[in-house]
Structure 1
Amino acid sequence: MNVTDKLTSRIPKIGDRGDRSDVVAVVKLHGVISPQPSPLARNTINIATMESALTRAFGHDRLRAVALLVNSPGGAPTQSGLVAERIRQLADAKNVPVLAFAEDVAASGGYWLACAADEIYAHRTSVVGSIGVISGGFGFPGLLERFGIERRLHTAGENKARLDPFSPEKPEDVEWLRTLHSQLHEQFCEWVRERRGDRLADGEELFNGDVWLGSRAAELGLVDGLGNLREVIGRRYPDAEIVFAEPKKPLLARLGIGAPAAALLDAVEQRARWARFGV
């Protein structure tokens, strides 16, 4: 065999490469759940940013399973529901199992996303749960008066200006917000019960907005066991290739250009959400 033949023999033939292997596709669900992406679209979860990654993950020909790496303190309930529903649509269409792996935090909307999986695993130190609803803001009713600023607010509809931060808080507006929270909370609870079924432990403490470490979450049935992606997937699908499906980056992210002021505000908001869970 001459030198040319030796070199040629080392080149993989079409069909001999790893694309014949079974595949476990991994999608990262990292960051705050928000309908508004950050200027560089980093660490933001919503249906628009995740669609390409999810479609790519479920599009492999030799797909054995899809794994979700969840690291999120939550955020917008509608976006949580849209992404979770899209995962279930694709999983049912492809008839493949979905496994979720909680990393630092899978709380609130992050746990909503994890429940889109057929099985959930967590690290023993993961923070899991927060099945509840929260909203917050600031009130400045005395600020305008202090600086001699006149507030001019014109509406058509008596409830159009509910919870305006520059107007005194009204008891009826607070009661309206509590009703809205209760309705959202019940939808969250129904989703968890639907997805987790009889794996959940008895007791309403599961739905009081509290969080637990991974080991306790396993005892409560919020997760199916302790373990990380490489460990569980390696045991379940030893011959499969792990492939990461990344979302497409927008133009500003590809160019490394962003709006500094907007990025700063976004970072502050995201930091506040993570800080609630001690991370």
Structure 2
Amino acid sequence: MRNMADDNFESGNRNASGAAPERGREWERDLLERLAFAALKEQRARRRWNIFFRCAMLVLVLAGLWLALGSGVAEDEAVGPHTALIDIDGTIESGTSGAADNVVPALNRAYADDTAVGIILRINSPGGSPVQAGIINDEIVRLRKQYPKKPLYVVVDEMCASGGYYIAAAADKIFVNKASIVGSIGVLMEGFGFTGLMDKVGVERRLMTAGENKGFMDPFSPQSAKQKNYAQEMLDEVHQQFIDVVRQGRGSRLKETPETFSGLFWSGSKAVEIGLADGFGTVDTVARDELKAEEIVDYTQREGLSERLLKRFGGAVGSAAAQAVWSQAGRASMR
């Protein structure tokens, strides 16, 4: 017969052994809940930071767009007599700041503004496309006739050569620095020929064309005397157009010599001496001394961010295709 103490001891053992697993399960459940809540908090924090960074990026993009698209507002807000400034900087060709699509609208705005007493066209260019330079020259001639009381002066920075001078010749006066580079009144067409190298390494060019001269200027095909003469005649024709523009623009100021239209270029001081320029000056001195309007307002048409993006991405394929065609056919250039 067991006594009461034995019964109480066994009962206590059973209660202890039954409660231990239950307390273990509660601890595990509590740990899992804490881990779940911690993961949820981390996920929420990550989501909030993602939203913050996206909003910050959106603000930066909108600010950039506002600055880029609003870059030309200040010019239109100018009041009172002032000098209108237009910059041509770099190569003159389609798609650059010196393209006719950028320069011509700026010229029209400057001439149409009654508060602009005169225009300074600041040029720093080695030349470029005779087509783009010709369009700008023609527009200056037209506007000078339409607004005879509003002078247009060219101020040469480092260089005003070839196509740059083609434009400058239309101005009322040309001002230079004594060390500027001026002139290079000529035209060139550049390319390469690899036929001799191909013969040495045993490479055969297989070019099929419909049209006797369709492969004209192909760098991997020999150039015939007929094609060479044709190219020279075309260059001479464009060169003569250049010469006529300079003679018409400079008139009796030009002291013409056999070297004037040979493609040579001169220092600014020599350019003044031979009549390619009228004197020495900067934008500030010409605005002050010639136009009597020291306040200068920039009318240069700048590309906005949206235009640059469209040109970079939307026009990439067309630009690459055009460059490929021109590289095969050759191109006349005022450089």
Task: Provide the TM-score with structure 1 as the length reference.
Answer: 0.78
Offset at residue 241 of structure 1 (A): 2.3
- Number of the residue aligned with 1:104: 158
Q: Which amino acid aligns with 1:88?
A: V
- Number of the residue aligned with 2:137: 84
What does residue range 78-157 of structure 1 map to in structure 2 within 5 Å?
A: 78-95=131-148, 96-141=150-195, 146=201, 148=203, 150-155=205-210, 157=211
Q: Which has the larger radius of gyration?
A: 2
> How far apart, in 2, do the equivalents of 1:239 and 1:102 lie?
19
Change beyond 3 A, Cα 1:151–1:231: same
> How far apart, in 1, do the equivalents of 2:243 and 2:293 lie?
37
Offset at residue 74 of structure 1 (A): 0.7
Offset at residue 172 of structure 1 (A): 1.6
- Mean Cα displacement is larger for which, 109-118 or 163-172? 163-172
Offset at residue 51 of structure 1 (A): 2.8
> How far apart, in 2, do the equivalents of 1:69 and 1:126 lie?
13
2:87 to 4, 24, 28: 28
Secondary structure of 1:66's counterpart equals: strand
Offset at residue 163 of structure 1 (A): 1.8
1:165 maps to 2:219:
yes
Offset at residue 252 of structure 1 (A): 4.6
1:53 maps to 2:106:
yes
Offset at residue 246 of structure 1 (A): 2.0
Offset at residue 250 of structure 1 (A): 4.9
The number of residue pairs the alignment matches comes to 243
1:176 maps to 2:235:
no
Q: 8 Å contact 2:82–2:294 — kept in the other structure?
A: yes
Secondary structure of 1:222's counterpart equals: coil
Q: Which runs of 5+ in 1 are unaligned?
A: 1-16, 270-275
Q: Which runs of 5+ in 2 are unaligned?
A: 1-76, 328-333
Offset at residue 236 of structure 1 (A): 2.1
Q: 8 Å contact 1:66–1:98 — kept in the other structure?
A: yes
Q: 8 Å contact 2:127–2:163 — kept in the other structure?
A: yes
Q: 8 Å contact 2:86–2:107 — kept in the other structure?
A: yes
1:232 to 245, 266, 286: 286
What does residue range 166-205 of structure 1 map to in structure 2 within 5 Å?
A: 166-205=220-259
Q: Which amino acid aligns with 2:157?
A: E
Offset at residue 230 of structure 1 (A): 0.5
Q: Which amino acid aligns with 1:55?
A: N
- Mean Cα displacement is larger for which, 237-246 or 118-127? 237-246
> How far apart, in 1, do the equivalents of 2:123 and 2:214 lie?
37
Q: 8 Å contact 2:153–2:172 — kept in the other structure?
A: yes
Q: 8 Å contact 2:93–2:99 — kept in the other structure?
A: yes
Q: Per-residue displacement from partner, 1:130-182 (whole Å, max 9, x unpaired)?
A: 01111111112356664756523222x32222221110121221111111111
> How far apart, in 1, do the equivalents of 2:268 and 2:124 lie?
13
Change beyond 3 A, Cα 1:141–1:78: same
Q: 8 Å contact 2:82–2:297 — kept in the other structure?
A: yes
Q: 8 Å contact 1:199–1:221 — kept in the other structure?
A: yes
Q: 8 Å contact 1:101–1:121 — kept in the other structure?
A: yes
Q: Which amino acid aligns with 1:25?
A: A
More helix by share: 2
Q: Which amino acid aligns with 2:116?
A: L
Identity %: 34
> How far apart, in 1, do the equivalents of 2:311 and 2:233 lie?
42
Q: Which amino acid aligns with 1:152?
A: L
> How far apart, in 1, do the equivalents of 2:193 and 2:295 lie?
53
